Amino acid sequence: MNVALILAGGTDSKFKMDIPKQFVNVNNRPIIVYTLEVFQKHPEIDEIIVTCLDGWQEMVRVYSKQFNITKLTDIISGGKDAQESTYKGLKLLGERMDKGDVVVVHDAIRPLVSEEIITKSLEKCRKKGMGVSATPIMDTIMHSDNGKEGYQSINRYEIMKVQTPQAFDYQVIMELHERAIAENCLGAWDNSSMITKLGEKVYFSEGSDVNIKINTVEDVAMFKALYKMKNTEEPIDARR
């Protein structure tokens, strides 16, 4: 069984809108719904669980009925960070998962994830026990203490930009979370950072620069433009 665990429990005081990013409406559809629909349509995803911001669970339930997200089985409260939210989802799944079952963790605010990216994450997971979506860095990277001054360039060919989805063999990721708790390795911003803090390797699958994360109001505008471009068919030239 492959279960998608959608993380929608976060807030961001820097996001200059009155509602959380994952619930912003774009073309009369909340951002989280775009994300859920991709996993709903993916042929290898059997079930969807959402870890949700308190006070918004019923809204997610309403959206799931309105937009026919039939694979959604559970909506639970998120944790104080992505690591805790993931662990809560993993605990919920404990009695359902058998050997070889996979959990695919994904940010609700990455609505442009594609079927192909999810598939590649699952494929790498079957080979290595995990498949963490990532892309190479094309920009110049510098260390900076204050965001105003740079003092050391970093070789961009040694850097990867990590995204979600991140697919894991359930037993592998559960054991890593239990170990992180035992070793007081807490507060990680995603599973890959928790894993490296534990001294373990992360295995990458192919991501995409289009798979953007909605962090700012400008990102919402970018999402609108990319979604329109992605879903607009090229007009047929009758002269050809």
Residue 137 lies in a domain: no
Beta-carbon count within 10 A of 177 CB: 23
Residue 237 lies in a domain: no
The 10s digit of each residue's pLDDT in 152-199 is 888 888 899 999 999 999 999 999 999 999 999 999 989 999 999 999
Residue 196 lies in a domain: yes
The 10s digit of each residue's pLDDT in 47-83 is 999 999 888 999 999 999 999 999 999 999 998 999 9
**pLDDT value at residue 210:** 95
Residue 19 lies in a domain: yes
Q: Name which of 76, 226, 89 is nearest 168 in CA terms.
A: 89
What is the extent of the structural domain holding 179? 2-131+164-230
C-alpha 59/C-alpha 194 separation (Å) is 30
Residue 195 lies in a domain: yes
Bigger pLDDT: 140 vs 12? 140
Domain count, the chain: 1
Residue 150 lies in a domain: no
The 10s digit of each residue's pLDDT in 75-101 is 999 989 999 999 999 999 988 899 899
Residue 157 lies in a domain: no
What is the mean predicted confidence (pLDDT) over 12-18? 60
Residue 152 lies in a domain: no
DSSP string, the chain: -EEEEEEE----TTS-SSS-GGG-BSSSSBHHHHHHHHHHH-TT--EEEEEE-TT-HHHHHHHHHHTT-TTEEEEEE--SSHHHHHHHHHHHHTTT--TT-EEEEEETT-TT--HHHHHHHHHHHHHHSEEEEEEE--S-EEE-SSSS---EEE-GGG-EEEEEEEEEEHHHHHHHHHHHHHTT----SSHHHHHHHTT----EEE--TTS----SHHHHHHHHHHHHHHT-PPPP-TT-
pTM: 0.91
% of the chain at pLDDT higher than 70: 93
- The CATH number of the domain holding residue 110 is 3.90.550.10
